[in-house]
Amino acid sequence: MQKLEGKVALVTGASRGIGRAIALALAEAGADVAVNYAGSENAAGAVVQAIETMGRKAVKIRADVASAADVEDMMKRVMESFGKIDILVNNAGITRDNLLMRMKEEEFDAVINTNLKGVFNCVKAVTRPMMKQRSGRIINISSVVGVLGNPGQVNYVAAKAGVIGLTKAAARELASRGITVNAVAPGFIETDMTDKLSGETKDALLGQIPLSRLGKPEDIAHAVLFLAGDDSSYMTGQTIHVDGGMYM
Ligand code: NAD
How much is the pLDDT for 1? Answer: 56
Task: Give yes or no: 234 in active site.
Answer: no
| ipTM rounded to 2 decimals | 0.99
Ligand 1 pocket check for 223: Cβ under 6 Å: no
Say if residue 91 carries a ligand binding annotation. yes
Neighbours of 25 (CB within 10 A): 23
Q: Which domain holds residue 136?
A: 8-239
Q: Give the Cα separation of 144 and 152 in Å (integer).
A: 15
Question: What is the position in ligand 1's atom list of the atom closest to the CA of 18?
Answer: 26
Amino acid in position 219: D
User: Is residue 113 in contact with ligand 1, taking CB distance under 6 Å?
Assistant: no
Within-domain flag for 200: yes
Q: Which of 18, 116, 155 to mutate to test the pocket of ligand 1 (most atoms within 8 A of CB)?
A: 18
Q: How many distinct structural domains can be found in the chain?
A: 1
Please tell me the distance from the alpha carbon of residue 238 to that of residue 97, in angstroms, as a whole number. Answer: 27
Is position 246 within any domain?
no
Distance CA 112, CA 95 (A): 10
The CATH number assigned to the domain holding 19 equals: 3.40.50.720
- How many degrees, rounded to 5, is the angle at CA 137 between CA 182 and CA 83? 155
Q: What is the pLDDT of residue 202?
A: 87
- In the reported structure, the alpha carbon of residue 114 is separated from the centroid of ligand 1 by a whole-number distance in angstroms of 10
pTM of the predicted protein model = 0.98
CB within 8 A of 231, min separation 6: which ones? none
Residue 153, amino acid: Q
127 ligand 1 Cβ < 6 A: no
Tell me the residue ranges of DSSP E strands in 63-204. Answer: 87-90, 136-141, 179-186
Is 1 part of a structural domain of the chain? Answer: no
Q: Which pLDDT value is given to residue 218?
A: 98
Task: Indicate the SS3 state at residue 21.
Answer: helix
Give me the residues of the chain with pLDDT under 50, please: none
Angle between helices 68-82 and 118-133 (to 10 degrees): 30
Cα dihedral value 81, 83, 87, 92, nearest 10: 30
Domain assignment present for residue 101? The answer is yes
Could you tell me if residue 245 is inside a domain?
no
For residue range 142-199, list pLDDT tens digits in order. 999 999 999 999 999 999 999 999 999 999 999 999 999 999 999 999 998 888 888 8
Report DSSP state, residue 148.
H
229 lines ligand 1 (CB under 6 A): no
**The pLDDT of residue 230:** 95
Which amino acid is located at 168 in the chain? K
In a domain, 41, yes or no: yes
Residue 12 C-alpha to ligand 1 middle, in angstroms? 9
pLDDT at residue 196 in the model: 82
What pLDDT does residue 194 have? 87
